[in-house]
Structure 1
Amino acid sequence: MVTRPRASRVTSRLRTALAERIVRRALARLPLRARLAGAEDIGLGGPLMDIRDPDAFFARIGASGLIGFGESYMAGEWDAPDLVAVLTVLADNPAGLVPAPLQRLRPLWALRRPAAQLNTPEGSRDNISHHYDLSNELFALFLDETLSYSSAVFRSLPATQALLPAAQHRKIDRLLDAAGVGEGTRLLEIGTGWGELAVRAAARGARVVSVTLSAEQRELARTRIREAGFQDRVDIRLCDYRQVTGDYDAIVSVEMIEAVGEEFWPVYFRTLDRLLAPGGRVALQAITMPDDRLRASRSTYTWIHKYIFPGGLLPSTEAIERVTTGHTRLRTVRRTGYGAHYAETLRLWRERFTERSAEVDALGFDAVFRRMWTFYLAYSEAGFRSGYLDVQQLLLTREPNHRETP
């Protein structure tokens, strides 16, 4: 059940009135059609946003801003025949949703992230468990047979469900190729997932150490690796990346930096630098956002933080360059973007999740959870369709004779 935040009656009415004024003004300028209580239409025309309970909708936004916007969807107070289309319009116009004067006052009104979500070794375990230890069976319902929970790389777009496994293997192979993984390679994988990358690396003859903080993922990944016959080549460890020791010819990490937290980006990249053997390569896949949006929103507590990925923060490519240049000998020598491919990947996941809603129910997840998960997948897809988000494959190598700055 999604409960409405409590506040004093006077304060609540004032915040609701202000939220209604701001939201109405923003919607009137956007290329969509917001219908309030089945009667009043606002907007320039476009995909329909059906606000069934305007009073509750504005009250939630007044109390919790964009967190309330997502919670209102979870509660069924608004809906859309094409949710991705509506969210794409909003993602296309982030600066226009909040008036400029309020943008400048963002530190005063935006909710700040709870200290408990800081990605210390202890906090990271809790944050990862919140998402990845939900249920292996849940993820298996909407992912393909590879159990890859990151962007695929398709030969062409649009894609179909049947093409998804091969596209996930193509993504993995491009990363392994970039890192130079082959017979005898000592490979470190940071972020195991459910083991598909480790299996494909072992099939090339690599010796793999893979680390994860998810007990649920580790259990299933070890089973899958054993079934593939590579248990003698792959060691999956339940530990933090900061605890890893040794030397590795190659390091690969797929969409894990998003869970590191800005405060620990220098530690993360220094760890990669420390573990990489001379002549080694690092291949990363990372979801990125524009640098100006990162700077503006880096400390804001969002719906995604509250419900999906506590402690997460997407880097910009510029932020990665700043951190690696300022704290390590690592340098990005190649990067390739696949944002449109992630939009397609998310569409396929969302469609499969919707098709299998009865099975989601059977696992014990209620209707509010299903709306939450649908909103998360659609929200993410909209980010990539609008170009607000991108996903990058980056190749980093160590710069020779570099003196690290303090």
Structure 2
Amino acid sequence: MTASMEKKGSKQSNSSLSGFAAVVSGLLERLPYGKLTLYQPDGEKLVYGREHSVHGKEHPRGRYVEAQIKVLDNNFFSRVVMFGHIGFAESFMDGEWQTDDVASVVAWFLLNLSDNPLLEGTGNKSILVNALGALNQLLHLFKFNNKDNSRKNISYHYDLSNDLFELFLDETMTYSSARFSDDWLLSLKDAQISKYEALCRKLKLKEGDSLLEIGCGWGGFAQYAVSKYRIKYTGITISKEQLAYAEKAFEKLPELSGLFEFKLIDYRDMKRAMKPEGYDKIVSIEMIEAVGDEYYDAYFAKIDELLAEDGLAAIQMITCPDNRYDLIRKNTDFIQKHIFPGSLLPCLHRISKATSLTRLSLFEVEDLGNSYAKTLFTWQERFEAQLKRVGELGFDQVFVRKWRYYLSYCAAAFAMRNISVVQAVYSRPNNLNLCHSSFLERFAAPKNFESIGEVII
């Protein structure tokens, strides 16, 4: 397949391209699905892919992925060749290319994932691309999540500015996937509350329960659970900004005094001796992405240690496909370099391996992938509507484009189901709180041994 090429309405040969531009064009020609239109700085238009083809099948217009890129600076081509998909993103950050919809561009590349020469581990990986990518990988290796690095990694993102996050999050200040499963038309706030209630329901939360939240964020779940269920709540974080915000929010709720506490502490420093009977319930909402492969075992071992014998633990986590986990683990992407240093998306197989070293057993799983795509698109709309205020907070245009790319990049990945998010509930065998009441009644009913009769073997 070759790209069609136009300049002022006339067809031209692909041979008119030279240098890095020719390399990039040759690589894009390998991607067969959907349609990408690329405009060069001199006005030439190149079209890649087959418009109506997805996985070898013809689709009506509107059912395939179509995207366009307008290159403003030829430096774009060299950055893509030198640094692959990270160079592609950084070129956007620096204003070297633009598009009417970043998410559609990302979706087009994801649609062609198995043939994508810009990514590691694909069938068409090119030795010409990402020649200097080892530099990004080396930087990422230095951000592994020991206790000191974890604080730095979390602070890099979550301590940017509480005022910034208030611009695009809803009133609950919840920075994790909402839950639109029951009603796609819910407001963002109501969908976040739906997520909170789903977790409380899965935890079988009741008044008087002790609950530990690992990674309490700005305290949104804490406010909901304590207010509605009157539980005894403990939240831990390593973000000073989030801790201060959560504590201040609860100062406005004197009726909840004595029912909550927040601690600035790493989860690894929590000890059973702090609460000898253990916590009745443990929840962790999209914190595991900051744990890292080398600490998954320790993370679940700590949950096992802190959870009461008949307790329940609910973990909301972003996941990647099992068959791509090792590739993702061994490489570095835009999110890890520019948004969440030290982060890694687990796969369910790796999580199962970690929990197999504990007494924890998986009890329930719910997928919320589509809900996260909608959450991210909503965040982006709210962010874009507040650009003037973003500037007033001191963030420049490079930052704006970086976040535009970040939100779009993630939204497309969830929408195309290349990654997902799940709520997983864990307990231990013989937890009678999980038995249906009819079974308990049967097991506990008085037995008339005289009526059993003679047992014939």
- TM-score over 0.5 (shorter chain): yes
In 1, the alpha carbon distance for the partners of 2:289 and 2:79 equals 28
Deviation at 1:376, TM superposition (A): 0.3
SS in 1 for 2:312: strand
SS in 2 for 1:166: helix
- Gaps in structure 2 of 5+ consecutive residues: 1-17, 52-64, 432-457
Deviation at 1:202, TM superposition (A): 1.4
Is 1:43 paired with 2:45?
no
In 2, the alpha carbon distance for the partners of 1:256 and 1:212 equals 10
In 1, the alpha carbon distance for the partners of 2:21 and 2:44 equals 20
Q: Among residues 238, 242, 256, which one is paired with 1:217 in the alignment?
A: 242
Q: Which residue of 1 aligns with 2:306?
A: 275
Q: Which residue of 1 aligns with 2:349?
A: 318
1:47-58 matches, cutoff 5 A: 47-53=66-72, 55-58=74-77
* Structure 2 CA distance for partners of 1:155 and 1:287, relative to 1, 3 Å: closer
Q: Among residues 392, 396, 408, which one is paired with 1:378 in the alignment?
A: 408
Deviation at 1:159, TM superposition (A): 3.6
Residue type of the partner of 1:137? D
Residue type of the partner of 2:232? R
Deviation at 1:16, TM superposition (A): 3.9
Is 1:346 paired with 2:369?
no
Q: Which residue of 1 aligns with 2:106?
A: 87
Q: Among residues 394, 399, 404, which one is paired with 2:429 in the alignment?
A: 399
Structure 1 residues 85-132: Cα deviation after superposition (integer angstroms, max 9, x where no partner): 221121222221126363799999753253321000111000000000
Is 1:227 paired with 2:252?
yes
| Aligned partners of 2:35 and 2:67 also within 8 Å | no
Q: Among residues 367, 390, 399, which one is paired with 1:360 in the alignment?
A: 390
* Structure 2 CA distance for partners of 1:108 and 1:51, relative to 1, 3 Å: closer
Structure 1 residues 23-60: Cα deviation after superposition (integer angstroms, max 9, x where no partner): 33245655322222332222134533223236211111
Structure 1 residues 205-259: Cα deviation after superposition (integer angstroms, max 9, x where no partner): 1111100011001001111122123242111101100011231111000000011
TM-score in terms of structure 1 length: 0.89
* Structure 2 CA distance for partners of 1:369 and 1:109, relative to 1, 3 Å: closer
Residue type of the partner of 1:259? A
Is 1:100 paired with 2:130?
no
Q: Which residue of 1 aligns with 2:296?
A: 265
Residue type of the partner of 2:37? R
| Aligned partners of 1:152 and 1:164 also within 8 Å | yes
* Structure 2 CA distance for partners of 1:157 and 1:384, relative to 1, 3 Å: farther
Q: Which residue of 2 aligns with 1:208?
A: 233
1:113-128 matches, cutoff 5 A: 113=138, 114-128=140-154
Residue type of the partner of 2:258? D
| Aligned partners of 1:335 and 1:392 also within 8 Å | yes
| Aligned partners of 2:32 and 2:112 also within 8 Å | no
In 2, the alpha carbon distance for the partners of 1:174 and 1:387 equals 22
In 2, the alpha carbon distance for the partners of 1:62 and 1:18 equals 10
Greater Cα offset, 334-343 or 294-303? 294-303
SS in 2 for 1:189: strand
SS in 2 for 1:63: helix
In 1, the alpha carbon distance for the partners of 2:27 and 2:386 equals 34
Residue type of the partner of 2:159? D
| Aligned partners of 1:47 and 1:82 also within 8 Å | no
Asked which structure has the greater RCO (Cα within 8 Å, sep 6+), the reply is 1
TM-score in terms of structure 2 length: 0.79
Q: Which residue of 2 aligns with 1:7?
A: none
| Aligned partners of 1:28 and 1:42 also within 8 Å | no
* Structure 2 CA distance for partners of 1:29 and 1:384, relative to 1, 3 Å: closer
Superposition RMSD on alpha carbons, in Å?
Answer: 2.4
Is 1:198 paired with 2:202?
no
Deviation at 1:81, TM superposition (A): 1.0
The structure with the largest alpha-carbon Rg is: 2
Is 1:75 paired with 2:94?
yes
Q: Which residue of 2 aligns with 1:153?
A: 179
Greater Cα offset, 23-32 or 82-91? 23-32
* Structure 2 CA distance for partners of 1:394 and 1:103, relative to 1, 3 Å: farther
In 2, the alpha carbon distance for the partners of 1:107 and 1:20 equals 12
In 2, the alpha carbon distance for the partners of 1:329 and 1:318 equals 17
In 2, the alpha carbon distance for the partners of 1:104 and 1:64 equals 12
SS in 2 for 1:329: coil
- Gaps in structure 1 of 5+ consecutive residues: 1-13, 402-406
Task: Among all aligned residue pairs of Structure 1 and Structure 2, give the percentage whose two residues are the same amino acid.
Answer: 37
What is the number of residues matched between the two proteins? 385
* More helix by percentage: 1
Residue type of the partner of 2:365? R
Residue type of the partner of 2:48? G
Q: Which residue of 2 aligns with 1:63?
A: 82
Greater Cα offset, 384-393 or 44-53? 44-53
